[in-house]
Structure 1
Amino acid sequence: MDAFFVAVELLERPELRGEPVIVGGTAGRGVVSSASYEARAFGVRSAMPMAEALRLCPTAVVLPGQMAKYREHSRRVMSLFEEFTPLVEPLSIDEAFLDVSGALTLFGPPASIARQIRARVLEETGLSCSVGGGASKFVAKLASGKCKPAGTLIISEAETVPFLHTLPVTALWGVGAATATRLRERGITTVRELAETPKQTLICALGTAQGERLHDLAWGRDPRRVETSRREKSVSHEQTFMTDLAGITELERELRAQSDAVARRLRATGLEARGIALKLRWPDFTTVTRSRVLAEPSDTGHRLFREVRELLHEVNPHGRAVRLIGVRADHLVEAGSGLAELPLWEDDRDDEWREAERTIDRALEKFGKHAIRPASLLGRGERRDGTTGLSDRPASLN
């Protein structure tokens, strides 16, 4: 979808079409969620601090985000995709992969299908999208980015390698700033140069997994299929504060609330975590993460909090001020699948806490999200970012 959040807002604010428009938070440390192409011309981009965005484009109109509305429009768009093929893999709220190999007889060649999809989405929702096509998911995604906004670009299998070899190496998935620097130190700045580098050289520079993967991508090899059901890899919750949060007690209270939120999401989806990670961002934007493997899978906030609190004391024992703090549960497994093969806790057993927290889940569902909470969170009142309670946002699946 093209500038999805902004495009949805403009359905109700058509007078703003053609103007620089930004959707995002305006208070304190608000960030840009989406920007119109007119705003992007000034250098505004997603995830940029709103203050910086307004310095670049002071005439921009800023609108608050409304996620419920965006999710509803997303559902409508995804249902339209399914009229062309049942093989639809949502990648995010505004993006999806479609396997149309079985739809060619009914709808015509790929370029025709792409034009039909764009026309149907515009007709039914008033929203614009760009469609890229290729023999693999990687190439299709690259093509969609190259033809934005409101465009179509199909890269045939025969055109794939020549197309890729014209691109900078940063176009490859997984090549961020650090990887690009390591490659540049070896004289590799384009996909062509990477493709012509011996695989073993890349492995020595980047490690086996990344070296092999990037070499394959540089030659257009991407065997991943479109998956209509995705298994969540992690459940996370993080909070950026309007003013830096300091003090070990305050940080622990935030982690307790986040751990409970993550655990509730795990229980709601029938999953347990075998790993836990802590994320901290200092006021200078430096970010650190620490993780550990749990002795047995868990879906209780009590267990997750105890583990992540130990990580906090390892990396920030004196409660140094932070800009952001977060909890991530990963290495997810089906609930109950690991209990038979791993030893139970010798003390403070998880199953006792699990039953208590499931009782709390039922109370929260019936009486509201602030009906019951750990004693350590009572009396917290209004948080630093103006919301009531701690960690009001739901935990997110990935």
Structure 2
Amino acid sequence: MSFPYTVASVALPPAPSSTPPDPGRFPASETSPGIRGGGASGRRRHILHIHYHLGHYPGEGYDPDLYERLIEQLHTFSPRVQALPPMAADCDVTGALRYFRREPRELARVISMRALALYGVDTSIGSADNRLLAAMAADATPPAGITHLAPDAVPAFLRPRPVGALPGVGPSTAGLLVRHGLHTIGALADTPLGTLQRLLGRAQGRLLHERAHGLDERPVTPREPARSCGADHAFGHDELDPSRHRRAVLALAEQLGVRLRSERRITRRLQLTIRYADRTTTTRARALPEPSHHGGALIRTAHELYDSLGLQRARVRGIALRAEELQPAEHATTQLSLDPADERDRRIEHSADRARDRFGPGAVRSAALAGMRLPAERPSSSA
């Protein structure tokens, strides 16, 4: 079966110059071979999703400073750039097309060439009319390739794909859909909205119904969110009691959860640092089972980190907890839970957040923290 889109590998010319090519001087006859689609801009949006092939963590090729330089490079094409740490970004080139007088695929080609020539980084770039389709196109693209999705190519691209390939559909949701005979995105798109809402809930049903039709109105937010945020707690004296250590960890995890939910962000990884009386420190980090901002997941992971240290009557002066590899909550994989307790906890969490918004951050706290006076935690963040 052939689709009306193609993936092209973009090779650099021999001995590239250290000076980045100027998109405005790109030869008018030169295009990316094998890439079809596009056309006049009109009033359509044109979004590029750029995936940089970096390692996930230090020691595996991931370099936060390099990532920042790659994001800065995108700003030479458009001011509307949204960083998606640790390895991707969205770039709205709608206005840039007229300025440079080039098609989206041509700008994508130059971005790919610059990243490789200047930084030695391969890219996979998806080009489409919205962020959802551009991201899915990039996911289907090999390193050094570009996939452009013209509007008339979207159904052929989306419909044969498994439901699990749709952003927002995690393993649990995909399993539920498959058990009801919805194996592909096309089958999901053909299902009446009311049926999906009865199956998945009103909000999730509508979201997946729209995404199955390739609809996504999310704008590219022209700002770079912080890569991490943290909070720390200082004891008034050398604290030897492990129960007080654990309660401080609980308070910090709760505080980070509240902050992440208010900013609509999720974290992939937590880092715990213990500061001792002799001013030495110990640090441990762990990835969450799935990116989240829910208190239960953060608290479990934070306590696991503390337990992994095996502290025996350590004289602790302070504890810091940091949420790393942040990303917008809208990119979270939504898992359906069959555990009524989990759904109850999330409803309670939502109500507690509303109470904090109305009456202040100290209005609601875990029962485990009742009667315990903690000094004010000091939140921090880094870009």
TM-score class, shorter-chain normalisation, is 0.5 to 0.7
User: Structure 2 vs 1, CA of residues 71 and 191 (structure 1 numbering), >3 Å: closer, same or farther?
Assistant: same
Partner of 1:252: 247
Is the Cα–Cα contact under 8 Å of residues 278 and 311 in structure 1 kept in the other structure? no
**1:299-340: CA deviations, max 9, x gaps?**
999x38x71x32689xxxxxxxxxxxxxxxxxxxxxxxxxxx
- Distance change in 2, residues 1:131/1:311 (3 Å): farther
Flag the 1:74–1:104 CA change in 2: closer, same or farther, 3 A: same
Tell me which residue corresponds to 2:141.
Answer: 147
Q: Which runs of 5+ in 1 are unaligned?
A: 6-32, 35-62, 239-246, 270-274, 314-346, 365-393
Tell me if 1:4 matches 2:54. yes
Q: Equivalent residue for 1:120? A: 114
Q: Which residue does the alignment assign to 2:215?
A: 221
Partner in structure 2 of residue 277 of structure 1: 295
CA apart distance, 1:190: 0.2
Provide Cα deviations, 1:2-35, integer angstroms capped at 9, x if missing partner.
4313xxxxxxxxxxxxxxxxxxxxxxxxxxx45x
Distance 1:230 1:122, change over 3 A: closer
C-alpha distance in 1 between matches for 2:135 and 2:186: 19
Spell out, residue by residue over 1:116-155, the C-alpha distance to the aligned partner (whole angstroms, 9 max, x if none): 0000111221211111111110000001111132211111
2:129 to 135, 145, 152: 135
Normalising to structure 2: TM-score of the pair? 0.54
In the TM superposition, residue 182 of structure 1 has moved relative to its aligned partner by 1.6
Q: Is contact 1:235–1:262 with CA below 8 Å preserved after alignment?
A: no
Checking the alignment, whether the CA contact within 8 Å between 1:2 and 1:150 is kept in structure 2 is no
User: Over the residues paired in the alignment, what is the CA RMSD in angstroms?
Assistant: 4.3
Q: Counterpart in 1 of 2:104?
A: 110
Structure 1 residues 85 and 395: CA distance shift in structure 2, 3 A: closer
2:164 corresponds to 1:170: yes
Aligned with residue 67 of structure 2, among 59, 67, 74: 74
Contact 1:88-1:98 within 8 A present in 2 as well? yes
Q: Which residue of 2 aligns with 1:84?
A: 77
Secondary structure of the structure 1 residue equivalent to 2:123: coil
* Structure 2 gap ranges (5+): 1-50, 233-241, 264-292, 305-336
Q: Percent of counterpart pairs with the same letter?
A: 27
CA contact (8 A) 1:81 1:98 kept: yes
Contact 2:54 2:61 in 1 (8 A): no
Q: Which residue of 2 aligns with 1:18?
A: none
Amino acid at match of 2:352: V
1:94 counterpart = 2:87: yes
Deviation at 1:174, TM superposition (A): 1.3
Residues 123 and 143 of structure 2 are in contact (CA less than 8 Å); yes or no, is this contact kept in structure 1? yes
Equivalent-residue separation in structure 1 for 2:190 and 2:381 (angstroms): 43
- Equivalence map 1:376-391=2 (5 Å): none
State whether residues 237 and 396 of structure 1, in contact with CA within 8 Å, keep that contact through their aligned partners in structure 2. no
User: Which residue of the partner structure matches residue 377 of structure 1?
Assistant: none
SS of the residue corresponding to residue 188 of structure 1 reads coil
Q: How many residues align?
A: 248
User: Offset of 1:157 from its aligned partner?
Assistant: 1.2
The 1-side partners of 2:134 and 2:61 are apart by 29
Q: Distance in 1 between matches of 2:60 and 2:191?
A: 45
Alignment of 1:256-271 (within 5 A): 256-258=251-253
Cα offsets for 1:84-127 (capped at 9, x unmatched): 11111112232111111112231511111111000011122121
Over 3 Å counting, the alpha-carbon distance change for 1:396 and 1:181 in structure 2 is farther
Q: Tell me how far 1:186 sits from its aligned partner.
A: 1.2
Pairwise CA distance, 1:248? 5.1
Secondary structure, counterpart of 1:97 in structure 2: strand
Deviations 1:354-391 (A, max 9, x none): xx74xx86xx9xxxxxxxxxxxxxxxxxxxxxxxxxxx
State the match for 1:30 in structure 2: none
Change (3 A) 1:237 1:199: farther
Q: Distance in 2 between matches of 1:225 and 1:199?
A: 24
State the alpha-carbon separation in 2 of the partners of residues 260 and 215 from structure 1. Answer: 34
Give the letter aligned to residue 249 of structure 2.
E
